[in-house]
Amino acid sequence: MYKILKAEMLADKIYLMDVEAPRIAKACQPGEFVIVKMDDRGERIPLTICNYDREKGSITIVFQTVGASTEKMAVLKTGDSFADVVGPLGNASEFVHEDIEELKKKKFLFVAGGVGTAPVYPQVRWMKEHGIDVDVIVGAKTKDLLILEDAMREQAGNLYITTDDGSYERKGLVTEVIKDLVLNQGKKYDVCVAIGPMIMMKFACLVTKELGIPTVVSLNPVMVDGTGMCGACRVTVGDEVKFACVDGPEFDGHLVNFEEAMKRQMMYKSEEGRAVLKEREGDTHHGGCGLCGGNE
């Protein structure tokens, strides 16, 4: 059992939990994720690791209620436990493996949309811990849905906040802030990391491609099973088929076929859609063991 050390609501339908998981906390790196199960019969829920405390032996997860399983998770409180927490899974962010002195020569821009602020946070924290100042853009639909502002402000070199409705700081989309920083303020970036809803990442990549900024995205939003067996997170990156949970979750955003991924994501939500995808993709439907039967 994995004890919940803290449980709180960050915003409407968005929750944060600190979970006792010493082995995961000791090994995890920015970009990786865990699979959480509430009980033996519970759904497997892949969640990016938002934060970790190696000394305390805990990890932090942030999730938004989007279905029955996450609704049940939201009811859990401090002192309750998860039946299982598996991880760390996926691949760590590429910069973790780069030479620190070379990284210090690069200028990073992190762009977070909505709940995507959670996976961006550990990356920005890692950068600060290694003496690298980065610029961060955080976008939300409205002020009430903004999360982790204070925590992010402590780690970011410069933090730019924007809300779709103008209820807090800037008004507009994160793409408009990217353009403003580069075109109006003369900022130059070597790498952009954009994490958030698929539609946000798609348009962020269109802007950064136009501006000539290499961009990394996290395709955690399309994951379902988290092991490559269900086929839900199958995506086309360049001319290759990838699975977000086993090959990612981070990819070159300028090579991701977002239109295909989003269409597939919608189809996977229905039983009929899953059947169509399984028939259409045959033996390549899944990316795992090959024995799961795709949508079974």
The H or E element that residue 174 is part of is: helix 174-179
Q: Is 222 annotated as a binding residue?
A: no
* Pairwise CA distance, residues 133 & 104, whole Å: 8
Q: Is 205 annotated as a binding residue?
A: no
- Pull the structure tokens for residue 66: 């989007």
Q: For the chain, how big is the Rg over CA atoms in Å?
A: 19
Q: At what angle do helices 258-267 and 198-211 cross, to 10 degrees?
A: 180
The H or E element that residue 5 is part of is: strand 2-11
How high is the pLDDT of residue 139? 96
Q: Is 185 annotated as a binding residue?
A: no
Report all structural domains of the chain as residue ranges with CATH numbers, in order of start: 2-89 (2.40.30.10), 94-218 (3.40.50.80)
How high is the pLDDT of residue 289? 36
Q: Which residues contact 83 (CB under 8 A, 6 or more apart)?
A: 1, 2, 37, 38, 39, 40, 42
Q: At what angle do helices 271-281 and 258-267 cross, to 10 degrees?
A: 130
Q: Is 289 annotated as a binding residue?
A: no
Q: What is the pLDDT along the chain (296 residues), one digit of tens a residue?
A: 899 999 999 999 999 999 999 999 999 999 999 999 888 877 888 898 999 999 999 999 999 988 788 888 999 999 999 999 988 998 999 999 999 999 999 999 999 999 999 999 999 999 999 999 999 999 999 999 999 999 999 999 999 999 999 999 899 999 999 999 999 999 999 999 999 999 999 999 999 999 999 999 998 877 766 655 666 778 889 988 888 888 879 999 999 998 888 887 666 544 444 444 444 445 554 544 333 333 22
* Pairwise CA distance, residues 87 & 139, whole Å: 28
SS3 state of residue 82: strand
How high is the pLDDT of residue 143? 95
Q: Is 64 annotated as a binding residue?
A: yes
How high is the pLDDT of residue 166? 94
How high is the pLDDT of residue 283? 52
Question: What is the 8-class DSSP label of residue 153?
Answer: H
Q: Is 75 annotated as a binding residue?
A: no
